[in-house]
Structure 1
Amino acid sequence: MSSTADSLATPEQGAARYGALDRLLRQRLLATLDGLDGGRVLLVDALGTVELGRPGGLEVRIDVLDPGFYRAAAAQGSVGAGEAYMDGLWRCD
């Protein structure tokens, strides 16, 4: 198993940590990212894997390790997302 898969919670463990607000904020972020042109985002979290955007450009994988990422990004935008990254709530490659 890869290091990414090792560190992500199993769906049963991780999904229980997502409250109603976390799920709502996740859906809002997914809707925003799905409108991307010229690139694709693969978002992986305890609730599943979602492919967003359009093929044919840059591609990135985002691993959300903690649902607090969605709250931070919603509350503080890119600054909140950056702080969540520094706090280890998500990573990308």
Structure 2
Amino acid sequence: IEVRQESTTHILMRFVSHSSHAFRPANGYVSIDELAALGGIDVTGIEDGDEKAAYVRRELIRRGNADFEPWRNWFMGLMMQASLQQPAPRAN
């Protein structure tokens, strides 16, 4: 996470995330079916492997995006609270 104050009213926050299939040292990567089961994603009726993988990927992204907004609001609240507790930097 990178957080930078751009002005007295704006903060820039950059968050980069990367995800890949779960990996088990003894067995290698888990199957798309197991990954779906681990994530609670119902893939019933999707037989094509590529279609199933695309569906699971889209669902994981959708869930991640849905989880991001509440986290962002919480984090921004912390930033606001911290900015109110510290004196503003002096201009030179």
Does the alignment reach a TM-score above 0.5?
Answer: no
Q: Name the one with the larger strand percent.
A: 1
Q: Which has the larger radius of gyration?
A: 2
More relative contact order, 1 or 2 (CA 8 Å, 6+ apart) = 1
Q: Into which bin does the TM-score normalised by the smaller protein fall?
A: under 0.3
